[in-house]
Structure 1
Amino acid sequence: MKKLAVSLKKIRLNNSFHELADDFGIDRTDLSKIFLKNVPIIASVMRPFIVTLNEEIIERTLPIAFRHRFNKVTCIIDCLEIEVQKPSKVLNEALTYSENKKAHTIKYLISCTPDGLINYISSGYGGRTTDTSIVETSDFSKCLLPNMTVMADRGFKYVDVYLQKMGVLLVRPASVESAAKLSKAKTKENKQIDSLRIHVERVIGRLREFNMLKPHACLNPCLVEVLDDIVTIACALINIQDSLDK
């Protein structure tokens, strides 16, 4: 139980191993080994709490805001970026540098149901990778079935072609082209989509409550090797909390 408590406290509060060693009476060097060894084990136990998309259940629990115009939406996607220390290898340095964040990051694709349950989390990608590339190269498509609808933001501009091949519809705000102006109807639709995407943003907000997953956590390279498992644990813990949609 002590090993479990140490690992979960590190993920939640991101205390230094020196502080944790004092709190739990464990040698500091042993503590880091315990953490790196036990996080994958905890993740394997928690992974079943990442839900599977079930259209019948989604339809039954669909929030009222979706029911009029977007009642076919089965999941909402977005990306989570976590800052890490500058890698020592030049290739890793180039792959992890995010122009958007102006820092070295690891990026994850997250998908949640309209009522806020996480149904998918990708493996980590270097911050340089585009949102569209992650959708296309990850195994996210295995979650989807024909006639499903995915909601996303403008950053997933070219994903619709990829999803259409599987018979899946992408709903996202329309982009404003240069020298063009959106109609009133399109502007209204954009605002509706943005207001509904708040559900996945709230999920990401909950993930940010884990100090190891804060935007500027700047994780040590030795912790990056288990970051996929850390994110999985955090997602599973969120799913067993109170629902986002009251």
Structure 2
Amino acid sequence: MAFWVLIEPCIYKMIQASRAKSAANMDEEVLTPARTQTRQLLQPVDEFFLFLVFLSVGLKERDLAHRFNIHQSTVSRIIATWTSFLATALGSQCIWLTRAEVQAYLPEEFKGFSDIQVILDCAELRCQTPSSPLLQSETYSSYKSRCTMKALVGIAPHGPVTFISDLYAGSVSDKELFKQSGIAEKLTEDMAVMVDKGFLITDCCKCKVYRPPFVSKQKKKKNQVKETQATVRLGLHVERVIRRIKQNKLFDGIITMSPVYNINQLFAVACMLSNYQNTALVKKQVK
């Protein structure tokens, strides 16, 4: 309910997705929220609960329609409207932290990597196999051996999600996704990023890159071994965040492409909502 208290004052500004789409097609502006003109079948808090059930439990629209005693088309409208509203409301808040903000909350575990600004990894979501052979080849992920959509997710060392890219076809490489996401423009020379060994991005950004090396037979120095072990261990934090996001059952199964709601917005909302969960990723923080 704490999150509901935060967004409740903005509810009156909500515009139905269908009305917004119609206005966009007619090049008009929607000035009056739909709630003042149409009969409400559910209270706003109940609509929000329906949206969360759809996202976290992954129930089908027909099932939700039966449970909430409303028509399936109404369920689709509620999901599309709340997806758009939350993407706008949460997206209006800058989640990218400044260098000083990251330093202020830098966990003790990162004391050997004090210049870390963001930890990056890719999240892959299973998607419906397209009927087009061309689209099949574009979405096929050789790593997952299935059709997927792929996004770049970044977290600050103390845990919150600070960067979310759009979803791309699963065939795109980690390096190409990094370049297309636009995060390189946010990084400066005094920052550093921590990534998995598959991110060969040293030549793509002007900041320092902490990346575990590929397996080699060459003997390494003791300090290099320690840095590699620390990079692997600390890099797991972003995998835990992605796992938390995927606990939303909507992303745990095969995602069906729907013309009703925007899957990019849904994924971004799920990522930003994870910042409002209380579970800490690291136990100690600098006080």
* TM-score for the superposition, normalised by structure 1: 0.90
Q: Is the 8 A contact 2:118 2:193 kept in 1?
A: yes
Tell me how far apart the structure 2 counterparts of residues 17 and 148 of structure 1 sit (CA, whole Å).
45
> How far has the Cα of 1:212 moved from its partner?
1.3
Q: Which residue in the other structure is 1:194 paired with?
A: 232
C-alpha distance 50-230 of structure 1, shift in aligned 2 (>3 A): farther
> How far has the Cα of 1:50 moved from its partner?
5.6
Match of 1:14, SS state, is coil
1:116 aligns with 2:159: yes
Counterpart amino acid of residue 137 in structure 1: Q
Q: Which residue in the other structure is 2:91 paired with?
A: 47
1:245 aligns with 2:287: no
Q: Which protein shows a greater Rg?
A: 2
> How far has the Cα of 1:223 moved from its partner?
6.6
Q: Is the 8 A contact 2:76 2:260 kept in 1?
A: no
Tell me how far apart the structure 1 counterparts of residues 259 and 161 of structure 2 sit (CA, whole Å).
23
Q: Which residue in the other structure is 1:231 paired with?
A: 267
Tell me how far apart the structure 2 counterparts of residues 99 and 233 of structure 1 sit (CA, whole Å).
27
1:96 aligns with 2:127: no
Q: Which residue in the other structure is 1:23 paired with?
A: 67
* TM-score for the superposition, normalised by structure 2: 0.78
Tell me how far apart the structure 1 counterparts of residues 131 and 80 of structure 2 sit (CA, whole Å).
20
C-alpha RMSD of the superposition: 1.9
**2:127 pairs with one of 61, 78, 84:** 84
> How far has the Cα of 1:224 moved from its partner?
9.4
Q: Which residue in the other structure is 1:11 paired with?
A: 55
C-alpha distance 141-198 of structure 1, shift in aligned 2 (>3 A): same
Tell me how far apart the structure 2 counterparts of residues 223 and 207 of structure 1 sit (CA, whole Å).
23
Q: Which residue in the other structure is 1:163 paired with?
A: 205
**2:248 pairs with one of 180, 186, 210:** 210
Tell me how far apart the structure 1 counterparts of residues 149 and 212 of structure 2 sit (CA, whole Å).
26
Tell me how far apart the structure 2 counterparts of residues 118 and 85 of structure 1 sit (CA, whole Å).
27
Percent of residue pairs bearing the same amino acid type: 28
Query: Which deviates the most, 58-67 or 1-10?
Result: 1-10
Q: Give a deviation string over 1:80-132, Cα, whole Å, max 9, x none.
A: 00001101222221111001111111000001000011110000001100111
Tell me how far apart the structure 2 counterparts of residues 36 and 170 of structure 1 sit (CA, whole Å).
39
> How far has the Cα of 1:204 moved from its partner?
0.9
Counterpart amino acid of residue 174 in structure 1: P
Q: Give a deviation string over 1:60-87, Cα, whole Å, max 9, x none.
A: 21111111x2111111000000001101
List, as ranges, runs of 4+ consecutive aligned residues in structure 1 with deviation greater than 3 Å. Answer: 179-185
Tell me how far apart the structure 2 counterparts of residues 131 and 225 of structure 1 sit (CA, whole Å).
27
Q: Give a deviation string over 1:164-206, Cα, whole Å, max 9, x none.
A: 3xxx1111112234x5444443332211101111211111121
Q: Is the 8 A contact 2:123 2:242 kept in 1?
A: yes
Q: Is the 8 A contact 1:46 1:233 kept in 2?
A: yes
> How far has the Cα of 1:137 moved from its partner?
1.2
Tell me how far apart the structure 2 counterparts of residues 129 and 120 of structure 1 sit (CA, whole Å).
18
Query: Which deviates the most, 122-131 or 179-188?
Result: 179-188
Q: Is the 8 A contact 1:36 1:223 kept in 2?
A: no
Higher relative contact order (CA 8 A, sep 6+): 1
C-alpha distance 235-223 of structure 1, shift in aligned 2 (>3 A): farther
Tell me how far apart the structure 2 counterparts of residues 143 and 118 of structure 1 sit (CA, whole Å).
15
